[in-house]
Amino acid sequence: MDYNITAIDGGICAAAGFKAAGVHAGFRKNKQKLDLALIVADDVCSAAGVYTTNKVFAAPVGVTRAHLANGKARAVICNSGNANTCNTDGYDKANASCDMLAKALGIDADDIIVASTGVIGVPLPIEPIERGIPMLIDALDYGIEASNNAACAIMTTDTKKKEYAYELTVGGKTVHLGGICKGSGMIRPNMATMLCFITTDAAISSEMLQSALSEVIKDTFNMVSVDGDTSTNDMVTVMASGKAGNAQITADGEDFKAFKAGLAAICKRLAMSIASDGEGATKLLECRVRNFTDKDGARTLAKSVISSSLVKTAMFGADANWGRILCALGYAGVDIDTDKIDVKFKSSAGEILVCENGRGVDFSEEIAKSILVRRHLTIDVDMKSGDTDATAWGCDLSYEYVRINGDYRS
Amino acid sequence: MDYNITAIDGGICAAAGFKAAGVHAGFRKNKQKLDLALIVADDVCSAAGVYTTNKVFAAPVGVTRAHLANGKARAVICNSGNANTCNTDGYDKANASCDMLAKALGIDADDIIVASTGVIGVPLPIEPIERGIPMLIDALDYGIEASNNAACAIMTTDTKKKEYAYELTVGGKTVHLGGICKGSGMIRPNMATMLCFITTDAAISSEMLQSALSEVIKDTFNMVSVDGDTSTNDMVTVMASGKAGNAQITADGEDFKAFKAGLAAICKRLAMSIASDGEGATKLLECRVRNFTDKDGARTLAKSVISSSLVKTAMFGADANWGRILCALGYAGVDIDTDKIDVKFKSSAGEILVCENGRGVDFSEEIAKSILVRRHLTIDVDMKSGDTDATAWGCDLSYEYVRINGDYRS
């Protein structure tokens, strides 16, 4: 089914009914770096969230989970530069942030999504929040620039801001979806895997919104791996303002399927942007596992390939070392027929078969190199044992990854 | 119980009844690099083995598993430079190697352990085997130098040869254990994780030898991680000649416990040597998880810390970024009480508490740095929830790892 999903300009403000802002509040020393973001809906929205599965989770994750329990939200506040994790006063600070923002906006503190990202174990300073809230409210706006600023304010080691927007038709009305996200290190396919805030003007109940999100992340955010570390702070939230004017989606059906396709499109785009901007990455890697017996197995296999340090370094070096791909498929813990596996490398420069039926084939190293030096590589794995596919995204492992993480706090 | 286990000089020839040799047979271009190793026992030995759990496994792994099914072996032949994995003629070549060696030595081909290590997916050339076997037989000797040569011949990206020997008293007799191993990349705590050949002159039945080995690897080789990739070629084998003259161990009891302690000592030493010589490693990392509720959980937690790319890069940078340790404990998939965790860093320069009850404590970054710049670091994690401990070994993640693996085949 083709839902005519179209990429459009803008981010979180592309959906009707959402203002945004980003300011430098003082979490970072560099005054040019925005470090506090705000998203505010005109009215209370249906809302849904998914969170890190790490047993060590940030205080704001705990607070947001409680706030979204009723499926309603109106605003998002998010700082970069400090994770507010493993601190004695973490919950106090996260709650205090919500209280201050609620008072300043005249809204209910329970309708606030709060998030933090940055270093773990350093107490969150509350002054930048106090100082930042009036600045944010002053800067709130419906325009593209406001979304840009919010997207910039949540960045940590990200080298590019990540914001995308899509439109599609749902129940005869044009519906918009916008999203910003951040994430570069501590990324693993286990749950939300970074911070992502999505807005939409679709009218949809909280239950159906949560259902759509929980299903969509399985093939998008959960299929991304940068370094195999599942962060303590991950979350993806969606707020739906209902301003598109479609008949509210309250059950499965054509409208729900269309909305879910739109949500999948923006989540996939945002997830790929995270993989492609992985810490130190020089290349976006995509692993397609095709024709497998079952979906979960296909996902596990694709993620195993994309997470292998040896595959990642080989791709960094443009080395067609396909044995490492078979090795990663073999230890994934999935029942596979190793004698059926075909492997191809693909990029904009062409494609080349390097392994057939689990055995090496003669191929031109020169042509392989010319394919592997490109910035977007696809590792195509044909399992020839079924009709189910899965795709995972990751990045290569470079010297720069080691540099960034060997000295993160300095 | 203290079994008076003492480190002694020598490797696989420290145990009575074993000759060894290592030669340059031509798998490698560099004529200075020995690339074919042989170990031969004076008589048929009790033998045991453990193998990779990777579903893609090398032909020699399959052949050796079959040969050891009867618990007997007399010789080991092992080449470096080619893994003999994912090749159409892999089994033919592995069997041909055994047949040639059996004929030359006048022994049964079924009593031969065959192993290969190197690049995957390139057909194994048989000529170096043909050429090498007479050279090996000519060089066979009981001395230390013979063991040295065999240890060198199985090295790939290893920077140091790995051979150790121990002695202890079993049933009133002095028993010797010697071992050589190789392993530097493609190392993960899942099974044998590299090539390791152990000899002993203890008298022990095949069944008890297998039982001892299977138990001992859980806390030694399986607790090592270099890069999270489980190789296709891993194996650990032990041959016991019985020449020490102790009453043969055929059941559990004091003698078996003593032998197992000796086997554990040499396996731990060999396993640590692999971690410490991990590809590109500048530091040996040891993670001790103490006072946990159960052994399996403690092992999983220790391995999760030692396997985290973010912990490994922080240790490379001597950065006391303990939040990454809590993060790795949190995503290990083990039920833990995060509010009880204490973390200390230790080295020969001292120790420092950085996290207490899951929260950061004030500590001197300067003192932490002085501890973390050393070559052997211990991450001490006190779970304060039981009385079970586990230790895992790994290494830091450096620029050199990326360089080695970005261009492995070139």
pLDDT band, residue B191 (cuts 50/70/90): very low
Whether A143 contacts chain B with CB within 8 A: no
Which helix (H) or strand (E) covers residue B163, if one does?
A: strand B162-170
Q: Work out the minimum CA distance from A202 to partner chain B, whole angstroms.
A: 35
**Beta-carbon contacts of residue A54 (< 8 Å; ≥ 6 apart):** A190, A230, A231, A232, A234, B327, B330, B331
- Average pLDDT for chain B: 91
| Class level of CATH domain A6-276 | alpha beta
pLDDT above 90: percentage of residues in chain A: 73
What tokens appear for B310 in the block? 């973010």
- Report the residue from B308, B317, B410 with minimal CB separation from A407: B317
How far apart CA B263 and CA B15 sit, in angstroms, is 13
How far apart CA A212 and CA A206 sit, in angstroms, is 10
Contact between B175 and B244 under an 8 Å Cβ cutoff? The reply is: yes
- State the amino acid at position A331 in one-letter form: Y
Rounded average pLDDT over B59-76 = 96
Whether A89 contacts chain B with CB within 8 A: no
DSSP state of B249: B
Report helix, strand and coil shares of chain A as percent, to nearest 5: 35, 30, 35
How far apart CA A225 and CA B71 sit, in angstroms, is 43
Whether B92 shows a pLDDT value over 90: the answer reads yes
Residue B71 CA: distances (Å) to CA of B74, B78, B193, B249, B305? 11, 19, 21, 14, 36
Rounded average pLDDT over B287-302 = 96
DSSP state of B209: H
Give strand pairing partners of A342: A382
Q: For chains A and B, what is the number of CB pairs under 8 angstroms?
A: 210
Whether B186 shows a pLDDT value over 80: the answer reads no
Q: Work out the minimum CA distance from A111 to partner chain B, whole angstroms.
A: 28
**Beta-carbon contacts of residue A390 (< 8 Å; ≥ 6 apart):** A219, A223, A288, A289, A292, A295, A298, A299, A301, A302
Answer whether B322 sits within 8 Å of A231, measured CB to CB: no
CA dihedral B327, B333, B337, B341 (to 10 degrees): -40
Give strand pairing partners of B49: B237
Q: Name the residue with tokens 């044992």.
A: A385
Right CATH for A284-406 from 3.90.1150.10, 3.40.50.1440, 3.40.50.720, 3.10.20.340: 3.10.20.340
**Beta-carbon contacts of residue A353 (< 8 Å; ≥ 6 apart):** A342, A343, A344, A361, A363
Q: Where are the domains of chain B?
A: 6-276, 284-406
Count CB-CB contacts under 10 A for residue A290: 18
pLDDT at B184: 65
Residues A151-195: tens digit of each pLDDT: 999 998 788 899 999 999 999 999 999 999 988 654 443 333 478
Rounded average pLDDT over B158-174 = 92
pLDDT band, residue A407 (cuts 50/70/90): low
pLDDT band, residue A112 (cuts 50/70/90): very high
* Pick among B119, B229, B340 to test the A interface (most A CBs inside 10 A): B229
Whether A86 contacts chain B with CB within 8 A: yes
Whether A310 contacts chain B with CB within 8 A: yes
- Report the residue from B57, B313, B323 with minimal CB separation from A406: B313
- Report the residue from B186, B323, B398 with minimal CB separation from A85: B323
Contact between A203 and A174 under an 8 Å Cβ cutoff? The reply is: no
Q: Which residue has the higher pLDDT, B156 or B244?
A: B244
Q: Which residue has the higher pLDDT, B188 or A233?
A: A233
Residues A228-276: tens digit of each pLDDT: 556 777 889 999 999 999 999 999 999 999 999 999 999 999 988 888 8
How far apart CA B407 and CA A104 sit, in angstroms, is 57
- Catalytic residue, from A193, A230, A237, A300: name it: A193
DSSP state of B69: G
pLDDT band, residue A150 (cuts 50/70/90): very high
For the four alpha carbons of B180, B184, B185 and B189, in that order, the dihedral sign comes to: positive
Whether B276 contacts chain A with CB within 8 A: no
How far apart CA B314 and CA B329 sit, in angstroms, is 16
Whether A391 shows a pLDDT value over 60: the answer reads yes
Q: How far is CA A194 from the centre of its chain?
A: 6
Q: Work out the minimum CA distance from B125 to partner chain A, whole angstroms.
A: 15
How far apart CA A299 and CA B284 sit, in angstroms, is 34
What radius of gyration do chain B's Cα atoms show? 22
pTM: 0.80
- Report the residue from A359, A399, A405 with minimal CB separation from B314: A405
Residues A355-375: tens digit of each pLDDT: 999 999 999 999 999 999 999
Answer whether A405 sits within 8 Å of B317, measured CB to CB: yes
| Residue of chain A with shortest Cα separation from B226 | A309
Buried b (16+ CB within 10 A) or exposed e, B313-340: bbbbbbbbbbbbbbbbbbbbebebebee
Contact between B52 and B101 under an 8 Å Cβ cutoff? The reply is: no
Answer whether B120 sits within 8 Å of A326, measured CB to CB: yes
Whether B126 contacts chain A with CB within 8 A: no
pLDDT at A79: 96
pLDDT at A131: 97
- Average pLDDT for chain A: 91
Buried b (16+ CB within 10 A) or exposed e, B168-195: bbbbebebbbbbbbbbbbbbbbbbbbbb
Residues B204-241: tens digit of each pLDDT: 999 999 999 999 999 998 888 766 556 677 889 999 99
For residue A220, indicate whether it is catalytic: no
* ipTM at complex level: 0.74
pLDDT band, residue B263 (cuts 50/70/90): very high
- State the amino acid at position B180 in one-letter form: I
Answer whether B313 sits within 8 Å of A120, measured CB to CB: no
| Residue of chain A with shortest Cα separation from B122 | A360
Whether B30 contacts chain A with CB within 8 A: no
pLDDT at B410: 42
Report helix, strand and coil shares of chain B as percent, to nearest 5: 35, 30, 35
Whether B394 shows a pLDDT value over 50: the answer reads yes
Q: DSSP alpha helices (H): ranges in A106-204?
A: 127-139, 144-153
pLDDT at A410: 42
pLDDT at A331: 86
Whether B253 contacts chain A with CB within 8 A: no
**Beta-carbon contacts of residue A325 (< 8 Å; ≥ 6 apart):** A305, A308, A311, A343, A355, A379, A381
- State the amino acid at position A259 in one-letter form: F
Cβ contacts of B54 on chain A, cutoff 8 Å: 327, 330-331
Residue A68, SS3?
helix
Pairing of strands A350-356, A195-200: unpaired
pLDDT band, residue A78 (cuts 50/70/90): very high
Residue B338 C-beta-side C-alpha neighbours within 13 Å: 24
- State the amino acid at position A158 in one-letter form: D
- Report the residue from B88, B401, B402 with minimal CB separation from A359: B88
